[in-house]
Amino acid sequence: MINLFGRAMRGFTLASVMALLVACGGGGSADSPVVEDAFYPAEDEEWELVWRDEFDGATLDSSNWEAQLGDGSDYGLDRWGNGEQQWYQAENATVADGLLTITARREQVVSGFPYTSARLRSANKFDFQYGKVEVRAKAALGGGLWSAVWMLPTDTPYGTWAGSGEFDIMEVVNAGTARERVFLTAHHGFEWPLNQQAGMDVDVSAPGEEFHTYSIEWSDNLIHWFIDGEHLMTVGAEHYYSYYYAGLNDGFKNGSESAPFDVPFHLLINLAVGGNLPGTVNNADIPSEMVVDYVRVYRCTYDNDGGRGCNSNVNRLLERPGAQEPFMASFPLYGDAAESLSWLIAGEPLVRELAVNSFWDNEGSLSWMETEVDGRGSVIEITTSSMGNVSINALDGEEIELFGFGNSPNWWEKHAGEIKFDLFIDSAGTDLDSELLIKMDSGYPALGSMALAVSEMPLDQWFTVSVPVSELIRNAGSQPLNTSEVISLFVFEPTSSAHVMIDNVELACGHPAQNGCGIRPPGGEVDSVLVPVFTAEGEVASVWDRGACAYDTTVGGDYCENDSLNLITWNVSDSGDPDIGMAMNVHFGNNGADGVFFFAASAGVDLSSFVGNGKLKFDMRLPPETAAAGMVFKVDCFYPCGTGDQPIDLTGYEPGTWQTFEYDVASLIGMGLNVSNVNAGLVLFPTWGDQQGYSFEVANVRYEADSADGGGDGTGGGNPDAPPYPVLKDGAVAAAWEDGISGFDEGIGYNSCVGDGGAECPNLSWTFVEDDERGSVLQVEHGAGFAGLFFGSTETRDLSDYLNGVLTFDIKVINEGVNTAGFVMKADCVYPCSSGDKAVGVVGLDSWETVEFPVIDLVLGGLNLQSVNTGLVIFPVAGQTEGVVYRLDNIEWRATNGAADSPVAGTWRIASEAGALKVGPGEFDGGWWQLGTADVTARACLLDDVYALNADGSFENRMGGETWLEGWQGADEGCGAPIEPHDGTTEATWSYDEEAGELTVSGMGAFMGLAKAYNGGELAAPYEAPASITYNVYPQDDGSLLVTIPVADPGWWTFKLVRE
């Protein structure tokens, strides 16, 4: 590494230096004046060249550059983290005639990568901290091409990208096309996906046809960007930061004032093909070349540690981003006693008490007590001869909802939540070869854990431990931790004998957005038909408890109090229109700032119920000057989560009149909104950069379910008349999925393989076979490594018509192999856009089974229906793939499951009569046992349970406060509180095949008639419940239903159901 720090001038102010200069002149005379060197170096002497590559040779200088190869998987970045389509190889970078040329070619040297290019870096050859970088370059011309010169830290002291920072000196995408963009950017903040960036698009004349000089000047407090000598952007240390995990004892913390840009970085030059930023590749534009004339690096000659002072080219009047810092919150769980969680909701306190418990003492092996310790007060003392655990949970026993901590199944999305506590390990009473498990659970066995080796811990002294919640999510139990449904916030579980003390337990988090993480207060449920935001009576609805708020660049933060000194002010007044009622008048002042007005909630509001047919609606009246400037709206889910800025279409709007604007909630999801966690119900502002003196009125802001299909400005409620959209049918992949069948395989770095897998995919192969029942079907075979199958399309497909429908497929498992947890599925919308992994569970054992997954649930997981590029992705649960063989048939998207018109739709219960419930060797046979007259009374808590086959395709088990329990559930036989997952809390669906006479309920724990009965057996434990169950259904002339299910060979359960 070259050190550009130089010498330091310490302890001197400018005044003292000037005084020294004057004092040194005392020995001269009038005849021989003293000649003094200027304090500031001349402009052309500010920067001293310390490293360069002029590319004057015939080959790339290997002492300066390393060629990075492949798809990024060797570096921990599948497709370089951006969904790129090229395979990097050294030969695509050539040097001749004083130029470096990187050529993108259309050639497939590795399956799944139709292009080649090159990527170079100077890491560990030339690394530097502070200075000036200057690059003269010409971008590659063409659609889908991404030319870049940039910098990354050589080490990552602040975590993975972008916690440790990134400079983008030059980024040009789609040069020479209508989609051309040029970026200058600094990335910082948190690890992905909470990473932050400061940057801008700039206009550059013909960046793909002409050489331009791109440069950056970097010191410890300022970063300046220049193009062709013009200063375009400055970002200061007051704006960037790094919030990172500093280790087991320190936990999460904010970095130094200059972090993350206070460590050595290195240079990168690359030309990417495709990916998230440039989008679709135009093959007609390839081959194409990125050309670099030179790369030069300078040091500032002021010789100070921070590289400051060389700023003669800087435009000091250039506006730069305001100061910011991460949001941090802490929630004490135990101090001198169990703490309480408290919130202030609409000015009223809300409190939930916490308690310390031991739900598992391992038959008396573990005991705990609260002990007084000098200097600490009360602590939790735990003694065990063999395991057991102690936990902290809500005294009311109900779930606790965390937000902004990350959640399953996306364990790879790191968030900055942690459990912190002080720990004392008594070496004499603790097995030194054991582990201490730190857990959080959402109802056993749904949990996450992290093991602390006692041998690696300090002994006989107090020390602090920090356990990242992301690690708990990653290390799941037999069921994954759900951070939105936490039962035990903290579980401490020795694996052997132990004597320990615990104190100062807290849950803490950091987030880029104000109030972006925390613990959601109980309640706050919203109506599924109407959620008002701002009412006709002039009130902000209580769920938006922060009320009307604003943000502007002068204040640099939110404010919810109306202050006339701020840029934005507001008041409520009568609109003068009886159809509108009261209106909110919003005024933007003339102080030169920009800002936004919004209605806000402290904790996110769950608007998931509005996805199918809901709309955001509001009335707005604009004066002529505001209408001419233009208006923008957005909806946020804790910044940076949100729709992004969306210009409002004012075509045909008549200034001075009221007009209603509507946006389908489903379309907001496509813009990036997480509808389950909305904290700004509506954000409005005149076009950014042109706001001075403008005003507007807004009224009747609400989220409203609409009975009509479609409409609005987005995808609407789908189209129930749309025909099925096939993926795989009759032994062939549908034409819409022109890329056909592909696989991903960890054995080749998660690269794609096509054809039939086999040699290309070491852990996956597929072929079409003849099935005795179905004819030609797809058969898939798995090896030991993690792999999966998908049906893809280069062009995206708009499947908005299927919003209220299902993605369905038939599956039959030929060989379970080592698999006990079943399958996972998802759909993608061009990486990283995806539905997220969706558990299918154990299905299709030895016989064909139909799986139907509600498309709405895919959308809620993040799928943008307007740009779907995989019709189905399916794979066995990771770690349980070896030996799995299964078949697929009839994969398609359906606009409706026919629920509304189904003859079985409605609510049902078991008939209160003898024989309504029975089991025997044959169908309809009660030879082994049947419900007797006395049982009708004894089991009334079962007979009043309701099975709701709702018209929207959802299914509910409604049990009230009790149902019939049995020994397999770990309970005494008799009436009692329902036990998970058969307690009615499962989000489930149903479908009915009238021709086959089959009813399928999907959702772990959903059932008809009897919880333990499933296809082919009876449950031995609650969490063995399958993901779906299919019943035979026989409608009777008297309106009742006979429902049967085979549980053995022989062995059938039969239920008689009557309508509620």
Burial 127-150 (b: 16+ CB within 10 A, else e): bbbbbbbbbbbbbbbbbbbbbbbb
Burial 259-296 (b: 16+ CB within 10 A, else e): bbbbbbbbbbbbbbbbbbbbbebeeebbebbbbbebbb
DSSP classification of residue 611 = T
In contact, 853 and 863? CB cutoff 8 Å: no
Of 728, 863, 735, nearest in space to 809 by CA? 728
Distance CA(1042)–CA(916), nearest Å, equals 9
DSSP character string of 427-479: GGGS-TT-EEEEEEESSTTBEEEEEEEGGGS--SSEEEEEEEHHHHHHSB-SB
Compute how many other C-beta atoms are within 10 angstroms of the C-beta atom of residue 1060: 12
Burial 33-51 (b: 16+ CB within 10 A, else e): eeeeeeeebeeeebbbebb
**CA dist list (Å): 974 to 135, 471, 909, 937, 967:** 78, 40, 19, 12, 9
Helix count and strand count (H, E) for the chain: 7, 72
What is the dihedral angle through the alpha carbons of 685, 688, 694, 700, rounded to the nearest 10 degrees? -10
Q: Cβ contacts of residue 266 below 8 Å, gap of 6+?
A: 121, 122, 123, 124, 125, 126, 127, 128, 151, 152, 153, 154
Hey, is 24 helix, strand or coil? Answer: helix
Of 632, 627, 622, 561, nearest in space to 596 by CA? 632
Which candidate in 84, 134, 171, 849 is catalytic? 171
Which candidate in 46, 134, 166, 289 is catalytic? 166
Compute how many other C-beta atoms are within 10 angstroms of the C-beta atom of residue 1036: 11
DSSP character string of 222-246: EEEEEETTEEEEEEETTT--BEEE-
How many angstroms separate the first and last alpha carbons of the chain? 78
To which residue do tokens 């000098």 refer?
374
Compute how many other C-beta atoms are within 10 angstroms of the C-beta atom of residue 337: 13
- ∠ CA 346-349-353 to the nearest 5 degrees? 140
Compute how many other C-beta atoms are within 10 angstroms of the C-beta atom of residue 13: 8
**Burial of 563 from C-beta contacts in 10 A (0-12 / 13-18 / 19+):** exposed
Tokens (6 digits) for 574? 């009568």
Distance CA(172)–CA(183), nearest Å, equals 7
Has 485 been annotated as catalytic? no
In contact, 776 and 731? CB cutoff 8 Å: yes
Specify which residues 873 forms β-bridges with.
790, 826
Compute how many other C-beta atoms are within 10 angstroms of the C-beta atom of residue 420: 21
In contact, 910 and 930? CB cutoff 8 Å: no
Has 238 been annotated as catalytic? no
Distance CA(984)–CA(1005), nearest Å, equals 8
**CA dist list (Å): 48 to 135, 221, 267, 1003:** 16, 20, 18, 67
Distance CA(1047)–CA(968), nearest Å, equals 16
In contact, 163 and 260? CB cutoff 8 Å: yes
H or E segment to which residue 938 belongs: helix 933-938
H or E segment to which residue 551 belongs: strand 547-552
Distance CA(876)–CA(273), nearest Å, equals 31
For the annotated catalytic residues, the residue numbers are 166, 171
